[in-house]
Amino acid sequence: MMTGSLLDRLPQEILRLLRLIGSYADQRRVSCYLIGGVVRDLLLGRDNLDIDIVVESDAVEFCKPLAQRYQTALTVYPRFKTATLTWDHRFVVDFSSTRKEAYPTPGALPVVVEGTLKDDIFRRDFTINAMAISLNQDNYGTLVDMCRGQDDIRSRTIRVFHAKSFEDDPTRILRAIRFQERYQFQIAEETREPLRQAVEGKFWQYVSAGRYFEEFKKILKEPNVLCCLDRLQDVGGLSFFSKEIVWTPAKKDHFKRVQTILLWMQEQGIDRTALAVWLVYLMILISDQPIEKVQDIVNRLSLSRHDSRKIISCKLEQEIVKRLDMNCVKPSQVYNVLKSMSAEEILFFLVKTHGQPPEMCIQNFLTQYRNVHLCTRGEDLMRLGICDGKRIGATLQILLERKIDAGAMTKEQELSLLQEMDFI
């Protein structure tokens, strides 16, 4: 089936790259295909710029001269024999060699050997993710569908290739649910039973908790994370954290609240670009556990030190935040409690304190206090005779607190406040 028009749904700049890669493959007499999620999404008419290419040869050796010829950034992952090329700092293309995989024990990292396109297709998770489009000139745009993936897309079905698929790779439990909810597909009848057995048999124990969590994180990043968790809870799939972690109606409300707050932040012009919303969801999921349990979960999931610290401190700071109340604390006190918290902790506390006094304090912090800056600088204080670095720092800190409590202040007002405060 010719699907030139399928590829044409990609942006022009990507198409230009694919043409170029295809003709380079022709010169090397290597077969080369676009494969996996991007093909699935092309068939579904959805945007996806995660470009995965397989070549029927050594992907790293294929990429090296290509990178040199087009002066693109090349990253090689020798362990996986894959490579990534980044064009113009913008377009990322992942290359791998077509391969066959064998799973020596359930969940173990697969033993990978060279294989054909067919091997590569049949090693994949679901039929909808196992189609390819040829990029070589002779059959450019031809869809390769060896597993009736198109039929499954049409009938909106998620289907594994064999009953041991979840045992080979238990992360497919989470992937099945993620794709089911994302596309509103159903799980094929013959896939349901192996999935049920995989959850009941706690197959996630076959893989490291860190690897399993990386896949769970993708669920936390889905726009319809709520439905995914509903579904996961239905099948009993959340117990991989620990049996105490339960998806309750209260947590569901908190997840919805996150989404409302994100909209509010957008309206207020609060920058959310660096905000890891998935981490806030994780905080909500595990925050009802005692600190030792939280610590244990965080360690097991192999979260980065940075993320772990945020989760632990939101647990520890809960009591301090609960005491914030505009009727009895000054804006500068609110500022001092919140100023060194991460954006994720702040969002978490906004959720947890909804409808209670601290909520207003946190909102004021976000929209007002943290935007207050002094006009006075260290040099101004030096000119006034304060030369000790520590004293300059402490003076500026106190002046900032006064300014936060007072609202707006000009530089002259700041300097005269300093005189009044008897600092000079």
What's the min distance (Å) between Cβ of 222 and ligand CTP?
8
Using alpha carbons, select from 239, 189, 236, 180 the residue that is nearest to residue 209. Answer: 239
Alpha-carbon dihedral 68, 72, 75, 76, rounded to 10 degrees: -30
Q: Which residues from 119-138 bind ligand CTP, rule CB under 6 A?
A: 124-125, 129-130
* Touching ligand CTP, residues 218-237 (CB under 6 A): 218
Contact flags string 9-38 toward ligand CTP, x per CB under 6 A: ---------------------------xx-
- Three-class DSSP labels, 110-131: CEEEECCHHHHHHCCCEHHHCC
Instruction: Output 65 or 210, the one with its CB closest to ligand CTP.
Output: 210
Query: CB under 6 A: which stretch of 145-153, 171-179, 286-294, 379-387 binds ligand CTP?
Result: 171-179
Residue type for position 212:
Y
Q: Is 97 in the site for ligand CTP (CB under 6 A)?
A: no
Cα angle 342, 338, 370 (rounded to 5 degrees) comes to 90
Among all residues, whose Cβ is closest to ligand CTP?
37
Considering beta carbons, is residue 172 or 310 the nearer one to ligand CTP?
A: 172
- 50-89: contacts with ligand CTP (CB under 6 A): 50, 52
Residue 42 or 261 with smaller CB distance to ligand CTP? 42
The structure tokens listed for 389 are 């670095």
Indicate which single residue of 3, 127, 171, 342 sits in contact with ligand CTP (rule: CB under 6 A): 171
Cβ atoms of 192 and 234 closer than 8 Å = no
Contact status: 172 vs ligand CTP (CB under 6 A)? yes
DSSP code string of 15-70: HHHHHHHHHHHHHTT--EEEETHHHHHHHHT-----EEEEESS-HHHHHHHHHHHH
Q: Is 307 left (phi over 0), alpha (psi -120 to 50) or beta?
A: alpha
Q: Shortest Cβ distance from residue 223 to ligand CTP (Å)?
A: 12
Residue 167 as a binder of ligand CTP (CB under 6 A): the answer is no
β pairing state of 91-97 and 32-35: unpaired
**Which span (8-16, 45-53, 252-260, 344-352) binds ligand CTP, by CB under 6 A?**
45-53
Strands 73-77 and 82-87: antiparallel
Q: How many CB atoms lie within 10 A of CB 308?
A: 17
Stretch of residues binding ligand CTP (CB under 6 A), selected from 3-11, 68-76, 166-174, 356-364:
166-174
Interface contacts to ligand CTP, rule CB under 6 A: 36-37, 48, 50, 52, 124-125, 129-130, 169, 171-172, 175, 218
